[in-house]
Each structure stands twice: as C-alpha cells, then as structure tokens.
Structure 1
Amino acid sequence: MAAPMNNMRMSLEDLIIRLYDVQAVKFGTFKLKSGIESPVYIDLRVIVSYPEILVRVSEYLWDASQNCSNNFKSLCGVPYTALPLATCIATKHHMPMLIRRKEAKDYGTKRMIEGHYEPGERCLVVEDVVTSGSSVLETAQALKTADIDVRDAVVLLDREQGGAQMLKSEGIHLHSVCTLSKMLDVLQTSERLSGPDIERVREFIAENKFNAMSGIKRNGSGDTHCSHKKAKKVHNYADRASLCTNPVSKQLLQIMETKKSNLAVSADLTSCGEVLELVNRVGPHVCLVKTHVDILEDFTPEFTKRLTELAQKHNFLIFEDRKFADIGSTVLNQYSGGMYRISDWANITNAHSVPGEGVIQGLKQVGLSKNRACVLIAEMSSTGNLAKGDYSSATVKMAEEHSDFVIGFICQSRLTSDPSLLHMTPGVQLTEGQDSLGQNYITPTEVITNRGSDIIIVGRGITKATDPAEAARQYQEAGYRAYLAQFE
C-alpha cells in the first residue's frame, strides 16, 4: 500500500532530492542513442510509480503556468512522459485537457488531437524536461495544425542547453520550475553529489549548448542533446551544388537553396486531374514532386506534358518512383518505352540494387544522354523490410561507382559523407507513428537534423490534409528549419 500523502507542501529542494533518490535523475557515464557519453541521465517516467512525487511535480508546473501572460483555455502534455503530469493538473484545477496522438487511428475520426476544443483557442504545452525544445515544438506544431494556438509551455527541468531560446524564436515562451544548475546546487549541498561529479556535468552542459542553428542528437528517452564531438563540416545547398557534376543533382540543390525547401511531395493519387490539381497547389513549397504513374487510372501522355509545365511554373523537379528491379536489358525498355516513356519526362527515377549493377547500366544507357538521374533504394521505412546492413553498404558502393548517373539514395539516414550524393527519406509526418500497414512515420527534425538526411518525402500528411497547400507550407518550414539546425 502506498504511503499516505503528506499534506504539507514539499519544498523544491526536497523534491529534487526525492527525484534523485528514486533515480529519476542519475549521474555517472551513460551512452546515449546518439553514441555520445553523458554524465547525467534524466528519466522522469519513473515518477508514475511514486504518486506523491507525481502530484508535487504537477503542482509546481501549475504554479509555473501562472506566470504566463497569455490566457490559455486548455493544456496538452507532450507524449508520453508528460501525459500523467498534464492529467494531474487538469483534474486538480478543472482545466480542459487535450491529447496529442503520436499516430493517427486508421478508423473513426482519425484525429491527431483528441478532446474538445474551439478553433483558435489557446493551449498550454506541458513537458518534463527540455534540452533542445524539439519535443515541445513538435507538439505545438501538431496543435497548430488543428488550429489551436500555442504561446507558452511549462517544464519541470530546463537543462539550460538552448531549448528556451529556440522555443522563443518560434514564438513560444518557456516557463521552467527548475534548471539543471539549481538541481546540481541542491544535490551538492545535500551531499548527494561530490565536487568532481558536479564539474563533469557543468562542463558537459557548457560544451553542448546550442542555438537555433546547431546540430541536435536524440537519446533513447526522447530527450535531445547536442553532440559534444567535433561536428563534421556541413555544406549548405549552394556549396554542394557547386560540387556536383551531375546536372540533375546540381539543379535540385539550387532549387532547394532558392526556394528554401527540402520537401518532396508524394502525389500518390489515382486520377490525373487530382494529381495535377494537388501539384499546382503545393508546387510553390516543394523541390520535388514524386509520382507513381502506374497507379493512375486515366493516364494519357497529356498528363506528363501538363506535369512538366507545372514543374517549370513552380520550379521543381519530377521524380517517378518506379523502383526498377530487373536485369539491364529489361529496365532499359521499361524506362525508355511502353506507354509511360518515363525517361522523356522524369528528371529522376529510382531502382533497387538487388539485380546488381546491370540495373544501373540499363537505366544509364537511356538516361545519361537525356540529363536524367537515378537514386538507389538503400533503406526503406516499412516494418520488416530487408533493405539494411550489408545490402545498404553494397548499395552505397554501387552509387559511388556510378556517380555520373546515380545522385543519391532512398534511405532512413545519411549513409555517406560525400556532399554530392543526396539522401531522401520517405515516411515523414509532423508527428511520429505507424499506420495499419506497417509504414513508420518520423518527423522532419528527426530526419534532417538528427539523421542527416537531405530531403523529406511526405505523402498522406499533405494529400489527406484539408488544405494541402497549407500543410505543404508547414512541412516546408519544418524541413528547412531542421536543415538550418545542422549549422553552428
């Protein structure tokens, strides 16, 4: 049976000590998901097993929310650690609560935000720990997509590594209960930590500060950290364009620089009219339009003519997602002939490397003279796929050996440091999750900033949106912001 709750309010100092005692805060040497070693590890999920601590933390968060200059009508906890905290606040103070889903249901309302709300209402975001602020921002973006206004966020612990500044640059004011420096002071005074341990953590914090232009790494608990290793040089789009010898990769990077966009829309609709209408609406926000021409039920050559005209109008390239996977002589004919004549209108196509180099040679024989290019499928986003490990390594080697025609990869993360090779990642939405058919979704921040990819490929997040143009704008901004975050 749980111990009865003490009615006297727990001081912040006592709360910090209790968090340490239940190992919600640990000090030592911890390898994070990013591979770097950290002297401090914070995991507040454990407090759900300590009701008294859970309640006290929620009360301090509520107190911090009273400093908000903007009147909020509801609150939303960042999934998943902050959900019980938000629930405690909501029940104690009779405050309406919203829940942000990490994935949409494939039945019912299919909503990403659960709960009752009015368009334009103001919502307070609740979080446990902030390092970069990216988790708060992702929740805020999901709320804003549902026409919910976010101006403030409350957090128990600010690690003082730049998260508050980043959120401020996005128009969100962070109100923290405690800083990591305060926590260190309390633990040193209470003799929980020694002087050398304190200095290790302070040094780590100082070396891992970042701003809106710095790189971010994510650890296993959902917290984020900047790598304290010396970062490799990140080339901007314009510099990379100057390093490319293939005219397609050069043009694509120039478009990305000019339009400030790393967004590719996957126009997977089944009628020509629907595709053309969608492309005309989202065209100003994208660098690539990806098609599956063989799913069109009313295809005629007029479709590709009009698509090419839209590409010129809105300054984007066309990527036919054909996934060639046969011997060279067969793909040569599939690429150049048939009813689709892909090589005549698609700037880029793609291929599996399973058949070996012959598939590249067959495509190259047609495409090279037409200033076309190919990307190889090195990794996939579906559950249980076999494109990984040795397969991915062999695919990279093939690309490097055919760099006159192969300009990059379909992948889940950066596979090579060669700045002339582009990395394109599908399965991107503003919130993480999985659909009913095993498609895994990851966020623009995870794809571009954390995994080092170059282009986000978005399908249903745009095609199923009520306003595809507005959705494309949001993805464009999120993707470009994630790109900027790679630079010191």
Structure 2
Amino acid sequence: MSTVPPTTGSVSEADYEALVLKLHEIQAVKFGEFKLKSGLMSPVYVDLRIIVSYPQILHRVAEAMWDRVRETEFDVMCGVPYTALPIATCMSALHGTPMLMRRKEVKDYGTKKAIEGAFTRGQRCLIVEDLVTSGMSVQETVEPLEKEGLVVSDVVVLIDREQGGRARLTYILDTLVQHSLVTPDVAAKVRQFIADNQTDKPGVIPAAAAPPPKPKRLRYEERAALAKNPLGSKLFELMARKKSNLSVAADVATVEEMLELADKVGPHICVFKTHVDVFDKWSDEYAAQLRQLAGKHDFMIFEDRKFADIGNTVVMQYGGGIYKIADWSDITNAHLVPGSGIIDGLKQVGLPKGRGLLLLAEMSSKGTLARGEYTEEVVAAAEANQDFVMGYISVSPSSWKNGPGSPGLIHMTPGVQLSAGGDALGQQYNTPASVIGERASDVIIVGRGVIKAADPAAAAAEYRLAGWTAYEQSLAA
C-alpha cells in the first residue's frame, strides 16, 4: 500500500483502516497477557516505539495525525518524550512547523533548559502524543511549556486506551475483528478490561487519531421543527426549499454595488450578508430596495454588525441611528464580551419584529481570541436564550466540548473558498466540504470567492452546488 502523500489534505476512513492493519502487522498492537507499568495485567499492549523501524508507517502515522490538526492554529509543536518524538519530528519535517523538545531529565550543567528549541513567549504549542491512558504524560509536558510562557490548548494523540481519555482503542478493535485478526472473544475481554480500569483523571485532553463516532445528522427540515426562534425555523425551511446553504458576504464599497450583487446572486443564496456601515450613504429607500430583492429571490438579510456594547447602548444602535438595522435586517450578530445583557438589549428591539440573533462563538481570522472557554460561555448563553438567539457564527462546531449543541440552533461559517488557504490580513479559508462535512456547520459564508469573480452569479451557483453536495454527503455519512 502506498504512503499517504502529505499534500492530500484529507485522510479517509479507508486510510485509517489500512493504518490499523499495518500497526497490527508490525505488532505495535498486541493481544495476550501483559503486565503494565501500573502493575495491572492487561489483555492488550500498545508498543508504538517499533514504528521508528518502519519509515513508511511512521510517515503514515505523521500524516494521519497532521490531518487532524491541519486547520488548528499553532506556531510550534512538541512531542511527549520519548516515543512521540519521532512522530513530531516527521510532522515537523513534512509540513515545516518548528518543533520543540522537552527534557525528561533537566541537566545540572550547560543551559539547564527544560525546553529545547527556538520559541517566544505567547506562541501556541501543539502537543504530539503517541498513546494516552490517563493523560498524565501530556500534563507533564504541558507544565514546563506553560512555565516558559507558551500557550498549550491542543493535543493530537495517535491511540487512546480509553482509560480516562476518549474512545479510540475501540475503533482499532472493531477494525481488527472485521478483518478476522482478533476474535470477538478477545475483543470483548479487552473492552471489559477497559471498562473495569478507568483512571478518571481530571484534565484529560481529547484524543484525535481515529475517526470519532458522529451522531446522525438531521435534515434541515427536521431541524426547522426543533428551532425555538421562529426566524431560525424559517431559515431551515428556506434552505431546504431552495436547496441552498450559501450566504454571500457583500463586502463591496457602495450601496449600488451591493444592490446589483444581491440581484445577481439572489437566486442561489439563502442569506445575503451586508456591512452597510462601510457605505458613505444610507437611507430607508435603500433598505426598501434590498428588502424587495430579498422577497424577489427568497433570501434573508444578515447585517453583520457585530454588536459588542452594553444592553442600553445596543438598544439604540440596533433600533435607531441612521441605519435602523432592526427595521430591515432579518438577522444580526453580537459578541458576548459585555455579558448576556447584550442579548437582553438586542432582544428587546428585535424579538417583537420577528428577528434573530447569531452569537459569535468563533471567528475565522488568524490569532482570534474567540475560542476555548469563551466559546463555551457563548454556547451556554445561546442555549439559554433560544427564543431570540437562532445560532452561531462558528468555525468548527464539531470540535466543541459537546459538539454542535442543540439541533435547533444554526451554525454559519465565514472564510469559505473552494480551495483552502489564507490571505495577507489573517483571514483563513476553508472549503465547503470541510466546513459542512467535517466541521458540522450549516451555512457557508463566501465573500471574495463570489464578489471578485468575473461572473458573480456563476460563482454563486458553483458555491451553492458545492455546499449542498457537502450537506447531502454528510447526511449519508
């Protein structure tokens, strides 16, 4: 079997299955009776040190692990000593990301460093680990890295024994049973051993090597019935009716360009996203023209205002001023930085008008602070205010602590292009297949891929097809 090339950008389940079979073939995963470091007798033993003698398998392991973090933001990586060091080295060499090394034993001479390599305080560090049982070896690496001022928020692990981490060894068992390399009796014995010997250590970080089991995705029509915000329900119905999960971001310079674009792309979109405060003029007449186009082409209007002030202030910003956003925009959005009072303020204006609010849970710009605990707080606020909050601006809801959350809440993801990458200002682009299929979002937001095209209508049609195809494939997964 050929090595997975580093430029594929996606490792399929067939690739994972082939890797499991190779690991079994070289006896990196063994079954029998083995005494563990803890003193327990185990029916399964994982010995990944041997992969250094098999360059092609080491390469496959590195690529499988890289595929799981290719959209994650980090500046350097550090392998947990010692078995993960060659894996991290391979990942670093293949993809050009700087690597650091943690010393298990700090010398009392020379530099006396615990962390070797070139880095600066504040850089984000990805930890690479081969095997997790309780997560303690990972924690032992996190502590000296954080002491040096590095930020550690992500870990990629090849195999998790499920004794305090998450279920990945089961995937290996299922694959080997399927290929008659392990008997069902042995597999049952291993599963019972795992269940009986949980470490339940706090702070265990999710493993990410084999494809995680995914809940069945509901159709947009089914989710419409679960949405508690009436506008959110209508949007799900619109998407199903129009067979479109495309939103075009009208990042143009003039009102005239915006209206012309809305007319061109209208037949292909479910949502038209605006930034009217960049224009040098605005009036009720322009708002009426935009509403007329929304009715003509059956799409919703989303003014991307990103409110971020206290409740009393956003009441005036949303309902008044020269823009009077609540009068014409179906959807708007807000940061939760000021606290949940911002939801109360916007709700006071928007709910009587049948509007909906998106909370910014994540952003697609490089270096964003909208992640981790902040995202968790946003999710909690959205879940508690579903009468007005209709969903999120998100980037990777499938990776959230509890997944995408309530099926009645919609996920809209910006920074989408047909090819992945980024721009000079820090915008990170992801493909429709990645956003809808892998990250479990619902709506792709496309800006430059449409508005900079020679034929915006044709480009919108292409993105609409790509987004809808990704959605239909995700239903069959």
Same fold? TM cut 0.5: yes
Which residue type is aligned with residue 326 of structure 1?
D
Check whether the contact 2:282–2:322 (CA below 8 A) recurs between aligned residues: no
Misfit runs of 4+, over 4 Å: 26-35, 196-204
Q: Is the 8 A contact 1:427 1:457 kept in 2?
A: yes
Of 457, 468, 472, the residue aligned with 2:456 is 468
In structure 2, the CA distance between the partners of 1:249 and 1:203, relative to structure 1 (3 Å rule), is: farther
State the distance in 2 between where 1:203 and 1:332 align. 65
Q: Matched residue pairs, number?
A: 299
Question: Which residue in the other structure is 2:342 paired with?
Answer: 359
In structure 2, C-alpha distance between the alignment counterparts of 1:340 and 1:486, rounded to whole Å:
39
Q: Deviations over 1:376-396 (max 9, x none)?
A: 011111111111111110011
**Distance change >3 Å, CA 371–CA 433, structure 1 → 2:** same
Alignment of 1:434-449 (within 5 A): 434-449=422-437
Q: Does residue 23 of structure 1 match 2:64?
A: no
Partner of 2:170: none
What is the distance in 2 between the residues matched to 1:368 and 1:486? 33
- 1:227 pairs, out of 206, 211, 214, with 211
Match of 1:24, as an amino acid? Q
Q: Give the direction of change, closer, same or farther, for the CA distance of 1:482–1:332 in structure 2 (3 Å limit).
A: same
Between the aligned partners of 2:272 and 2:472, the Cα distance in structure 1 is 22
Match of 2:387 in 1: 404
Matched, 1:304 2:287: yes
Secondary structure, aligned partner of 2:322: coil
Counterpart code for 1:282: V
2:248 maps to 1:248: no
1:293-326 alpha-carbon deviations (Å, 9 max, x no partner): 1011232221110110010011010000000011
Correspondence for 2:300: 317
Any gaps of 5 or more consecutive residues in structure 1? Answer: 1-15, 36-42, 50-78, 82-195, 205-224
Quickly say closer, same or farther: Cα 1:480–1:330, change in 2 above 3 A.
same
Question: Whole-Å Cα distance in 2 between the matches of residues 402 and 350 of structure 1?
Answer: 14
Over residues 89-133 of structure 1, what are the superposed CA-to-partner deviations in whole Å (9 max), with x where a residue is unaligned? xxxxxxxxxxxxxxxxxxxxxxxxxxxxxxxxxxxxxxxxxxxxx
Q: Return the offset for 1:226.
A: 8.7
Q: Residue 293 of structure 1 aligns with which residue? A: 276
User: Which of 256, 271, 282 lines up with 1:273 in the alignment?
Assistant: 256
Q: Distance in 2 between matches of 1:385 and 1:80?
A: 22
CA–CA distance in structure 1, aligned partners of residues 314 and 180 of structure 2: 57
Q: Give the distance between the partners of 2:276 and 2:412, measured in 1 at CA.
A: 19
SS of aligned partner of 1:412 = coil
1:417 partnered with 2:405: yes
Match of 1:328 in 2: 311
Conserved 8 A contact 1:413-1:452 = yes
Measure, in 1, the Cα distance between the counterparts of 2:175 and 2:244: 43
The separation in 1 between residues aligned to 2:219 and 2:387, in whole angstroms, is 21
Q: Distance in 2 between matches of 1:413 and 1:401?
A: 21
Distance 1:288 1:226, change over 3 A: farther
Q: Secondary structure at the match of 2:444?
A: strand
> 2:429 aligned with 1:450, yes or no?
no
Higher RCO, Cα 8 Å, sep 6+: 1
**Which SS does the other structure have where 2:225 is aligned?**
helix
Name the SS of the counterpart of 2:306 in structure 1. strand
Q: Is the 2:305–2:332 contact (alpha carbons within 8 Å) kept by the matching residues of 1?
A: yes
Work out whether residues 271 and 299 of structure 1, in 8 Å CA contact, stay in contact via their aligned partners in 2. Answer: no
Distance 1:197 1:446 in 2: 26
Q: Any idea what SS the aligned residue of 2:474 has?
A: coil
Determine the structure 1 residue equivalent to 2:471.
483
Aligned residues of 1:380 and 1:387 also touching (Cα < 8 A): yes
**What's the TM-score once normalised by structure 2's chain length?**
0.58
- Structure-2 separation of matches of 1:480 and 1:360: 31
Q: Structure 2 counterpart of 1:304, which letter?
A: A
Instruction: Give me the whole-angstrom Cα distance separating, in 1, the residues matched to 2:295 and 2:228.
Output: 22
Paired with 1:340 and 1:198, the residues of 2 have a C-alpha distance of: 58
Change over 3 Å in CA distance of 1:458–1:199 after alignment to 2: same
Cα offset, 1:21, TM superposition: 7.7
Mapped to 1, the partners of 2:324 and 2:212 lie a distance apart of: 50
Measure, in 1, the Cα distance between the counterparts of 2:475 and 2:260.
36
Q: In structure 2, do the counterparts of structure 1 residues 228 and 380 end up closer, same or farther at CA, with 3 Å as the change threshold?
A: closer
1:158-198 superposed Cα distances (whole Å, 9 cap, x missing partner)? xxxxxxxxxxxxxxxxxxxxxxxxxxxxxxxxxxxxxx999
- In 2, Cα distance between the equivalents of 1:425 and 1:411? 5
Q: Is the 8 A contact 1:353 1:359 kept in 2?
A: yes
Would the alpha carbon gap of residues 199 and 394 (structure 1) be closer, same or farther in structure 2, given more than 3 Å must change? closer
1:426 aligns with 414
Instruction: Quote how far apart the aligned CAs of 1:26 are.
Output: 5.0
1:228 deviation in Å? 6.4
- Distance change in 2, residues 1:272/1:331 (3 Å): same
Larger CA deviation: 347-356 vs 413-422: 413-422
**Cα distance in 2, alignment partners of residues 198 and 244 from structure 1:** 38
Separation in structure 2 between the aligned mates of residue 331 and residue 307 of structure 1, nearest angstrom: 23
Unpaired runs of at least 5, structure 2: 1-21, 23-51, 70-86, 97-172, 182-208
